[in-house]
Amino acid sequence: MSPFVAIEQVGKEFALGSGERYIALKGIDLEIRKGEFVSLIGHSGCGKSTLLNMIAGLDLPSDGVVMLEGDRISRPGPDRMVVFQNYSLLPWLTVRENIALAVDEVLAHLSKAERYEIIERNIDLVGLRHAADKPPGQLSGGMKQRVSIARALSIRPKLLLLDEPFGALDALTRGNLQEQLMQICEESHVTAVMVTHDVDEALLLSDRVVMLTNGPESKIGQILEVDIPRPRKRLEVINHPSYYSMRSEIIYFLNQQKRIKQLRARKKGAIARHGLEKVNLEIGFVPLTACAPLAVAQEKGFFTHHGLDEVSLVRESSWRGIQDGIAGSYLDAAQMPSGMPVWLTLGGMDGKSLPIVTALTLTRNGNAITLDERFLTQGVHTLSDLKRVLLETADKRHTFGVVHPASMHNLLLRYWLAAGGIVPDQDVQVTTIPPAQMISNLQADSIDGYCVGEPWNVRAAVEGIGYTIATDLEIFPGHPGKVLGVREDWAQAYPNTHVALVKALLEACRYCMDEANHEEIRAILSRKEYLGVDINYIYLGDPNPMVCDVQEAPKEYAHHLFYGQGVNRPSRTEHLWMMTQMARWGDTPFPRNWVEILERVCRVSVFSTAARELGLSEITYSRGAIQLFDGVTFNTDDPIAYLNDLAIKHDVYMADIHLDTALPKAV
């Protein structure tokens, strides 16, 4: 069945006064079903109104085609009516006369009585019977917009197009009109496309929200399906279980586009100096205690010492921001969860392989599982206690937060639950939440617990919100926590810079491990450009053990390991284990060419070069067998057999992961 509206490879260029061309839109593909309400959202200048005008026929695409019911749109027509923000009413005509002007022009083939009936019905439809004989000058802004909507609907258009129709109205009037528009569209089965800047408006009215990237060359960055049933009421929409996650998704996209615009504005071409191919770097991090090596390298001059004298640290609120920054080449390098290089290489982001390499493990350990304080009153001190409570409350939805599908937090939490006979995604839901939002979600009872890095476990314990039931020192001692990640094409384009970056951060890791420096580092991390939290929540070593002593068996604080024998060298054995766990839970396929993947991801040679040039060759090592708290030994010789032997898992599937051999040039 062909789509009601088809937008195929549409692009739009405008001539500038300088004789140059501005590409507003490029490669827009969108299909709209009959009766569907679609919103276009994005920052100013992203081409929302331009796209709407091309659907209306008020402008023509430079490339591609826009079709309505299989017919190409080449001019305006009464089958497409536009409601503008400025009402566009004739001031010398009354409400009735403004509507009649459109009806008499478009529906002239109908009798006078039929046209009159249509006019009167639409006046009633928008609730303006009392003002039918008033001119626009005697109407409020909301009433004028209702006349505009009535005029558009009165000629029975196939498609209703709305260009920020409520943007100039006060909040109360806007809310009332949104409710009326929603009711009208549902009763009349109208197909509508609306441009808006209002996230809540988009979620209230839409079946799908189409998000556009920044211009120039704007494209569709993401399409969100709004799975809230109709008919809708505002309060019911707000209370829908998916509402806030969908709202957060749109806000994240908009914020990320703003961040990308800022990075674009300051991004310069590669500046070569000191024998390095590039000394001006944008390095991403997430505000966690584990970002200490990056903060120290910046504040103590390790970057500058190794020739990287134009480094900017980019603070992202979530690992998704890191992932998108690396994928879009807005970041040169980043602190990453240890599984992210493999996850991106295997196509975890969008099914397409994005080869990422890591040549340095920045931290080990530093994670813990925190439960809501109410579980303590139910006697939950162990994993078996948790299983008992979950069985007793099987009718209740239980949700745990992790920071990213590729993070060790996700893999550790799932492994821990499964080892206790609790099936992830069945007995409990696992959802992705930015680290800094874990506390607020726990307080709001949105989640029952989480697995995250510090300082968020210590903070929950200190504030009496939650308690640590298990640390990674118990589950998987010495596991990689955060790594340095760069795109493979970047590593190929800037090999000397890559080594210099590893050297600077390796020295910073050594500085972080010295207890004599801990008070200074805690003060650095507490600053707003890094963690921006009270210094009392930040620990680099093992603090007062009483901080987590809220249960019968006190747990050792999950302090970070930044440097030492076997700490910093990337381990292919560990990345293979992470690969099996991602396949275990259906996040990625297990690659048949896993040996090739490991060789591409783990750049041991870069680490060895950096360590040798620093005179630190003694910190290299060979990783022994991996064995977690349940006593199961990971079989590196036959990872498929290891996966098959796991009792609790999703369907595991295998695939050949094709990595580009001719790498694109880095930017």
Model pLDDT for residues 437-461, shown as the tens digit of each residue: 899 889 888 899 999 988 888 888 8
Asked if pLDDT for residue 425 goes beyond 60, the answer is yes
429-432 β-sheet, strand order:
429-432, 399-402, 449-453, 367-372, 466-471
pLDDT tens for each residue of 111-152 = 989 888 888 888 887 788 899 999 989 988 878 878 888 888
pLDDT value at residue 296? 97
Q: How far apart are CA 601 and CA 345, in angstroms?
A: 8
More confident residue, 259 or 621: 259
Domains and CATH numbers, the chain: 5-79+157-258 (3.40.50.300), 268-667 (3.40.190.10)
pLDDT at 622 over 80: no
Contact partners, residue 364, CB within 8 Å, separation at least 6:
478, 479, 480, 481, 560, 561, 567
- With a cut of 50, say whether residue 253 has pLDDT above it: yes
- 385's CB contacts (< 8 A; 6+ apart) are 378, 379
Sign of torsion over alpha carbons 128, 131, 132, 134:
negative
Strand ranges in 296-403 using DSSP code E only, listed in sequence order:
310-315, 333-337, 356-365, 367-372, 399-402
Q: What is the pLDDT of residue 658?
A: 83
Q: 164-180 as b/e, with b when 16 or more CB fall inside 10 Å? A: bbbeebeeebbbebbeb
pLDDT band at 234 (very low <50, low <70, confident <90, very high): confident
Res 212 pLDDT > 80: yes
pTM for the complete prediction?
0.75
pLDDT at 554 exceeding the cut of 70: no
Least confident of 80-89, 166-175, 389-398, 634-643: 166-175
pLDDT at position 547 is 43
What mean pLDDT is predicted for residues 467-481? 89
- Mean of pLDDT values over 318-344: 92
Q: What is the pLDDT of residue 108?
A: 86
User: What pLDDT band is residue 569 in, cutting at 50, 70 and 90?
Assistant: very high
pLDDT value of residue 507 = 97
Cβ-count burial 226-244 (b if 16+ within 10 Å, e if not): bebeeebeeeebeebeebe
Average pLDDT rounded to a whole number, residues 144-166: 83
Pairwise pLDDT comparison (458 vs 427), residue with the higher score: 427
**Is residue 542 very low, low, confident or very high in pLDDT (cuts 50, 70, 90)?**
low
- Which pLDDT tens digit goes with each residue over 179-197? 877 877 777 788 999 999 8
Query: Tell me, what's the pLDDT at 485?
Result: 97
Whether residue 395 has pLDDT greater than 90: no
More confident residue, 263 or 587: 587
